[in-house]
């Protein structure tokens, strides 16, 4: 296979994108985002292209996120350059959400963070037996971005809060139930479906012929319990409800919530709440962009990446250190207006 990080081609009327960094779990670089934007804009107006299919190289991951190591290395010295990466990435997310042709995402293996942004906004989202979908950003001092707050705010009951705040992992069934995917195709039929679509067949008919019912996941099993925690409650009320729930599942969730970055957890709760009142992806991306900008001046994002990716000690020292120390004013500051530097999407 080519040594290019993203392979772009077309065949039989299908635009084909392959994320091609398998050793890095197909993490998205700025150049990859720009190449995808260019191709998708061209295909959008090409009458010979009737669909787009995106996949990830290798067996382990569709895409495990954006290249956060590059953000860590450049964020303090090239603020505008890092923000341009996010501008372009968020433009790509919005383009996928609003695309005028079938956009088929073959979501195998790990689909995390930025990987969700280039798959879960598509029109035809296919998961399989080894699919693991998550928005783990609160664990690195960030918040679910790439339109993550848009998706999470539309999950049933309190599931969006649960997966957004904890960074919990969804199986194929969980992703479908929460609105992050549409169809389950068993692993032994997954590649056959891909090849049939690339051969130019009818996307809907082919998916219908290959799709099946997935094994039931945790989201359905715990939906009522999670909904009780978060139903129309403030953050403090939701935490109190989880603390009062003596079940093993609740106490495990509570432990995770207290381990994540406190400022990120409360900011994510706010962002999901606000996204519920936003009628499209664009304003959701706008609030995420404000948070991204603030995070580059803030300690926790660098500390989270250091602990998870750079030094890998898994022992971040958050500031503030606990949820009860995070004030509304601190959260407000993470979403402060950016004036003429706001994200502007067409």
**By CB neighbour count within 10 A (0-12 exposed, 13-18 middle, 19+ buried), where does 211 fall?**
middle
* Residues annotated catalytic, as ranges: 66, 114, 137, 145
For residue 303, give both structure tokens. 């500390």
Rounded Cα gap, residues 113 and 117, in angstroms? 7
Q: What is the helix (H) or strand (E) element at residue 146, kind and residue range?
A: none
d(CA 144, CA 271): 9
Rounded Cα gap, residues 216 and 194, in angstroms: 24
Q: List the Cα angle 200/102/275 in 5-degree steps.
A: 160
Instruction: Determine the Cα–Cα distance for residues 70 and 36; give it in Å rounded to an integer.
Output: 19
Name which of 58, 165, 40, 48 is nearest 103 in CA terms: 40
Give the residue from 231, 181, 234, 186 showing the smallest Cα distance to 210.
186
By CB atoms closer than 10 A (0-12, 13-18, 19+), residue 47 is exposed
Contact between 203 and 197 under an 8 Å Cβ cutoff? The reply is yes
Distance CA 335, CA 317 (A): 22
85: three-class secondary structure by DSSP: helix
Strand residues in 76-206 grouped as ranges (E) = 103-107, 110-112, 124-127, 132-134, 183-184
């Amino acid at each position: 296979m080519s040594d290019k990080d993203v392979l772009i081609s077309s065949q039989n009327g299908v635009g084909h994108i392959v994320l091609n960094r398998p050793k890095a779990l197909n993490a998205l670089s700025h150049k990859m985002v720009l190449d995808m934007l260019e191709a998708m804009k061209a295909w959008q107006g090409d009458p010979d292209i009737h669909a787009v299919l995106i996949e990830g190289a290798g067996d382990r991951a569709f895409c495990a996120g954006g290249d956060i190591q590059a953000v860590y290395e450049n964020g303090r010295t090239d603020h505008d350059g890092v923000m341009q990466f996010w501008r372009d990435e968020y433009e790509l997310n919005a383009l996928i959400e609003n695309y005028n042709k079938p956009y088929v995402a073959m979501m195998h293996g790990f689909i995390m963070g930025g990987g969700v942004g280039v798959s879960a906004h598509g029109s035809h989202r296919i998961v399989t037996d080894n699919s693991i979908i998550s928005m783990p950003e609160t664990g690195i001092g960030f918040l679910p971005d790439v339109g993550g707050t848009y998706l999470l705010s539309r999950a049933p009951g309190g599931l969006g809060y649960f997966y957004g705040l904890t960074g919990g992992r969804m199986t194929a069934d969980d992703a479908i139930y929460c609105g992050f995917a549409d169809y389950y195709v068993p692993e032994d039929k997954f590649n056959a479906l891909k090849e049939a679509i690339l051969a130019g067949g009818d996307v809907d008919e082919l998916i219908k012929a290959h799709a099946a019912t997935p094994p039931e996941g945790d989201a359905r099993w715990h939906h009522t319990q999670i909904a009780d925690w978060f139903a129309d409650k403030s953050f403090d009320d939701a935490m109190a409800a989880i603390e009062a729930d003596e079940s093993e599942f609740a106490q495990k969730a509570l432990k995770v919530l207290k381990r994540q970055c406190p400022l990120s957890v409360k900011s994510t709760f706010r962002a999901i709440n606000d996204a519920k009142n936003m009628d499209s992806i664009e304003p959701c991306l706008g609030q995420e962009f404000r948070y991204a900008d603030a995070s580059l001046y803030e300690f926790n994002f660098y500390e989270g990446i250091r602990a998870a990716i750079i030094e890998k000690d898994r022992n971040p020292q958050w500031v503030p250190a606990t949820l009860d120390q995070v004030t509304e004013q601190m959260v407000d500051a993470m979403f402060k207006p950016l004036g003429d530097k706001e994200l502007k999407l067409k």
